[in-house]
């Protein structure tokens, strides 16, 4: 079943520089975290994660797990 994202409160990082290579995240929906590409201007698909998955991803970023 596709989640209802109608009430999603999308937020873009304050570190976005306007280059168009940004993502928006909605964390206000019960039981899910939604992520979308800003280039799609709200019309493209969204990736859906559980809060646990999202927190593990964010923790990995903070720990440098994805640094090249």
pLDDT of 56 > 80? The answer is: yes
Predicted confidence at residue 40, as pLDDT, reads: 79
What percent of the chain is modeled with pLDDT above 70?
97
DSSP labels for 1-67? -----TT---EE-TT--SSS--EEEE--STT-EEEEEGGGTT-S-EEEE-HHHHHHHHHHHHTTTT-
Structure tokens that stand for 42 in this block:
């709200």
Nearest to 35 by CA among 45, 49, 25: 25
| pLDDT band for position 51 (cuts 50, 70, 90) | very high
């Amino acid at each position: 079943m596709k989640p209802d994202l109608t009430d999603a409160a999308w937020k873009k990082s304050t570190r976005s520089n306007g280059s168009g290579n940004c993502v928006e995240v909605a964390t206000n929906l019960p039981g899910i975290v939604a992520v979308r590409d800003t280039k799609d201007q709200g019309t493209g698909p969204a990736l859906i994660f559980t809060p646990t998955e999202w927190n593990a991803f964010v923790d990995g970023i903070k720990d440098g797990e994805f640094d090249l």
